[in-house]
Amino acid sequence: MTQTFIVDDSPYPARFGVAASLWANAQQRPLWSLRPAFSGDFPDSHQHVCQAGYCVTSGLWLSDTLREEVAQVSQLATAEPGCVVVLSPAHSAATATLPGTRLYTHHEGDTLQLLTAERGVVAHWQADQWGRWQAQAQPTQGATLHIGLAGRETDHCLGYPAIVAALGDAADALGVRVQLHFFAPATLSENLAELDGLNGVILPGGSSMAAVNGQIRLAGATNQRALATLGLCLGMQSMATALVRQTPGFEQANLAEAAPDAPCHSFVRFDDQRHRCGVLPFIPLGLLSNLMPPSGMHYNHRYVFNPALRTQLCAGDGQISAETDGIIEAISLSNHPFWHGVQGHPELSSRPQAPHPLFCAFLQAAQITPA
């Protein structure tokens, strides 16, 4: 079987590679990607953690067969015969002499097609309200849950789509109606009016340090308001920092990555300067063990909680809910209806027929949280 090259012209990271991923999944063929560049404001354009242990274009998160994402055409020499290769139009000329079939994507609104050179339709997908291409939102009942998601709407829907889709998976499983409210952490109001009327808040990960101070404020406020809160990667780091700041004398604690000159750093570089990236075992402890079983977790971080501040982290009702070799991987509050943060990315493991249990538990907690 010859290789199939899929030229994907999407200008959005959340959509690049979607057609190739779903088609390769259906064909049970290995997928390779030529890493694209994007001209828009997409700080999290390459934040999907792949099994190979590095970050790839965010739209590839739907792939079950992804092998590698490479930067140079010459690196495709090791690709398996019969694999699928997705590339941007910018790479078309450089791959023109490589033998194989050519297919092309066509994006129009929430419709996605895979076409032949003669414009024949090979496959067709329609996105639902959650941006999911392989599922449709299920009927819901009861009152609407209002969920706040830190970040611009474009950051999530066009840049890094996995969190919104994971919420959709959980909402379908529970049969609940959810309305999302987006707010940029860098431009929050002084009194955090953005939280008014919400049943729950998700503090996401991300590469932009401009979100950190706002997310720390949000974490502190959701703690005080008993508002259901789930933190992911950078969101967990913000939550842990908010807990440390409750101890007198540590009010200026901050992430070393976001504030190198801060007098106290809650998260610091690994001593060996490693980039901890890949799918690794996750064993929840304490409160978190009641919400999810041990599983694989996608990790992508270079900074770790400062071990010198463990006492401050666990002062009051703070708990360490997962830890491996001294690396704190999850935190919780014991006196809160739902306030959990994980260093990893559970959203990347969620699928329409298999929602991640942490997202289901979050929405269940939001159902009993008064807005």
Does 134 reside within a domain? no
Domain count, the chain: 2
Domain of 173, CATH number, reads: 3.40.50.880
- pLDDT > 90: percent of the chain: 94
For residue 98, pLDDT over 90 is answered with: yes
Q: How confident is the model at residue 170 (pLDDT cuts 50, 70, 90)?
A: very high
Same domain, 64 and 179: no
Quick: pLDDT tens for 104-135. 999 999 999 999 999 999 999 999 999 999 77
Provide the domain limits for residue 28: 4-126
Per residue in 238-288, pLDDT (tens digit) is 999 999 999 999 999 999 999 999 999 999 999 999 999 999 999 999 999
Categorise residue 143: left if φ over 0, alpha if ψ from -120 to 50, beta otherwise.
beta
The residue among 66, 96, 126 that closes a domain is 126
* 278: in domain: yes
Based on the fold, state whether residues 355 and 270 are members of the same structural domain: yes
d(CA 261, CA 277): 26
Task: Answer yes or no: do 196 and 156 share one domain.
Answer: yes
Plot region of 239 (φ>0 → left; ψ -120 to 50 → alpha; else → beta): alpha
Residues 67 and 182 occupy one common structural domain = no
Among 99, 126, 153, identify where a domain stops.
126
| Phi, then psi, of 114 in degrees rounded to 5 | -115, 120
pLDDT, residue 361, reads 98
pLDDT of residue 305: 98
Confidence of residue 40 (pLDDT cuts 50, 70, 90): confident
pTM for this predicted structure: 0.96
Q: What is the mean pLDDT of the chain?
A: 95
> What is each CA distance from 338 to 218, 294, 296, 299, 366, in whole angstroms?
15, 19, 22, 22, 8
